[in-house]
Chain A
Amino acid sequence: MPSILDSLALGFSVAFQPDILLYAFLGCLVGTLVGMLPGIGPLAGISILLPATYALDPTKAIVMLAGIYYGSQYGGSTTSILMRIPGEASSVMTCIDGYAMARKGRAGAALAIAAVGSFVAGTFGVVLLTLVAPPLANFALRFGPPEYTALLVLGLVFLAYMSSTSLIRTLLMACAGLLIGCIGIDVMTGHFRYSFDIKELGDGVGIVPVAVGLFGLGEILSTPSHTVADKVATPRLAELMPSREEWRQSAAPIARGSVLGFLVGIIPGSAHIIASFLSYAVERRISKRPEEFGKGAVAGVAGPESANNAASTGAFVPMLALGLPTGPVTAVLMAALLIKGIAPGPQLVTEHPEVFWGFVASMYVGNLMLLALNLPLVGLFVTVLRIPYAYLYPLIVMFCIVGVYLVNNSVVDVWIMLIMGVVGYVLRKLDFDPAPLVLGLVIAPTFELSLRQSLVMSNGNWTIFLSPQRPIAATLFAISAALLALVALSWLSRRDWRRGMAEAEAVEK
């Protein structure tokens, strides 16, 4: 059996072929643009370009489509930082501190940190994919429905734990997201739920219309142009590189985001989104200056941007090694290979080594290409800030409409985006953070399916989640309980009910 180095050498001999390099570059370029354009995520980009790969051989097709996927993770940060619009869902967390950095005149630094963090994490992810894919994939294989349920609950509790608003507000938003995720046909019984005879709602509410509405249009509605004229930063060339202090502050979050992102990435679900949320939570929680989060913390950009890139690479582990798609993007990528008569899975490495290792090697090259593409072009992207806001925001509104429409060619999706924009405006007024709603929506299908499967498996015995036979689920639930206890303790210590009542009475007077 060839060693990993021999196999990698074979991979690089494939990846360095001029036509493979060209398709990797095309994928990375399109991916960066797809990530930047609000409303057009990697799934839409890959779906739109899937027919264009029919004439290509399998290696070129998968190299180009995967380049779009991980390239979009680089590009997604740009619009988040410059416009506070998530170019794609995994960049939602970057909006918070990335945009705050931009408002402080550090847009260039935020973009550079995001690009370097993405490169480090992407390359780290590929190294791990190369070296430790089999054991990690084996670990993910041990996850059954109870473990998924526990993991998703932990994700929500993590979010509540790190939230800047109160626990009750975060949980209400998560509930709203999970409820929106319940709209459509129930996959287990076929019941239509809350579709109100609108046939387009039968497939459920998409993540893109909700995320673009809440974070894109909602932001525009909350920002009258006369308030922006003096606030928009127009950084000079000298401001485009991070300072030594900013590099220092970003190093550890990039490292943590890379590890966390890869580990979350191998678990099925919209891992790159969850990874960025979790990374933000971790960085905020361990920071010595948590009050800076939301106001332009470097770690709030470096961590999530690294995590989403590492997760997008990690998602390839179960797809390539086990033939398990971890989400809709990897499902489409698998479909691209299946169309060519190549089945991803354990046999892929032995039966089509040139495809497997060529693809892995192309990701090393692709990450270098993306760094080269994104860093020199940072200045070009920053010029977007120089467009007067009175011209820029109508363009963003139009991009939101076009981007959301193009995902499914559905006007209903655009209406949903519009409604969510208004909801986002109202939520800001009422001091709610919309991020838990998006996370709830993302995890809703997997959460419901795994919860119900767990209950069916145990014949209705809910202790399956805490059973010694399920140590992973029990551990994850124990961590969730510990986090909730910590939240409760800090709430009790700061807010005695008598003091709270006295404060309330004082306010009332």
Chain B
Amino acid sequence: MILRRDHVAGGVFALAGAFVLAASGDLPFGTLGSPGAGMLPVSLAALMTAGGLGLLAQARRSPALAELSWTDLPHAALVAALAAAAVALLVPLGFALTGTLLLFILIFLIERRPLVPALAFSIAATGVIHTLFSILLRTPLPRGPLGF
């Protein structure tokens, strides 16, 4: 059997619906006259499971998963991983340091742009954003061990 796009899509939605149904165990469903906290989410989850199964049933019409273009996956995974690292470091290191590092790594290491422009852009852009939000708008961006 060929694994097709809608096998994956339908399976994911059916499983997601089943997961929500399982996680709704302690939510009261109530009655039509007195609907509980679980009525809408459980109904939606059941609908989602049914929809996912419906998609699975007609998956043979969709293209094979291997036919989809996945050439952008390595870049996407790298950017997502770096963004996740930046989010994890945002509070411990502070915005200024994290922001500069994120920009520099993406521009210099991932995009392979020249060192000096990449460094200058990273510092300048972070500085402008820091000035705009922390100083002009007085909105609290996370401060690191260096105090900014």
Contact = CB atoms under 8 A, between A and B. Distances in A.
A191 B80 contact: no
A399 B12 CA distance: 30
Contacts of A393: 79, 106
Contact of B37 (A168, A189, A398, A459): A189
27 contacts: A168-B51, A175-B51, A176-B13, A176-B16, A179-B20, A182-B40, A182-B41, A189-B36, A193-B41, A217-B80, A222-B76, A224-B75, A390-B113, A395-B125, A399-B129, A401-B102, A402-B99, A402-B141, A415-B87, A425-B80, A430-B8, A430-B9, A455-B33, A456-B33, A461-B32, A500-B61, A504-B61
B107 A394 contact: yes
Interface stretch (A87-95, A247-255, A366-374, A406-414): A406-414
Contacts of B87: 401, 411, 414-415, 418
**A-B residue pairs, 8 tightest by C-beta:** A460-B33, A460-B32, A394-B106, A390-B111, A191-B37, A186-B37, A221-B76, A504-B60
B33 A459 contact: yes
Main secondary structure of the interface of A (DSSP, over half): helix
Contacts of A456: 33-35
A171 interface: yes
A409 B140 contact: yes
A13 interface: no
Interface in B92-148: 95, 99, 102-103, 106-107, 111, 113, 121, 125-126, 129, 133, 137, 139-142
Nearest to B82: A397
Contacts of A430: 5-6, 8-9, 12
Given A191-B27, A194-B23, A394-B107, A221 B80 contact: yes
Contact of B48 (A175, A414, A451, A508): A175
Interface of A: 48, 168-169, 171-172, 175-176, 178-179, 182, 186, 188-189, 191, 193-194, 217, 220-225, 227, 390-391, 393-395, 397-399, 401-402, 405-406, 409, 411, 414-415, 418, 421-422, 425, 429-432, 447-448, 451-452, 455-456, 459-462, 500, 503-504, 507-508
B106 A397 contact: yes
A178 B40 contact: yes
A7 B102 CA distance: 55
B90 A193 contact: no
Nearest to B75: A224
B47 interface: yes
Given A391-B121, A432-B9, A422 B61 contact: no
Nearest to B138: A48
B65 to A, nearest CB: 9
- Of B13, B36, B54, B79, chain A has the most CB atoms within 10 Å of the CB of B79
A224 B112 CA distance: 13
Contacts of B71: 224
A397 B79 contact: yes
A212 to B, nearest CB: 12
> Which of the listed residues A182, A222, A431, A452 has the most CB atoms from chain B within 10 Å of its own CB?
A182
Contacts of A429: 5, 68, 70
Contacts of A178: 40, 44
Contact of A398 (B27, B52, B103, B140): B103
Given A179-B48, A194-B20, A507-B60, 17 more contacts: A168-B55, A172-B51, A172-B55, A179-B20, A179-B41, A182-B41, A186-B37, A191-B28, A194-B41, A221-B75, A224-B76, A397-B106, A401-B86, A421-B83, A422-B80, A430-B5, A500-B61
Contact of A222 (B13, B55, B72, B126): B72
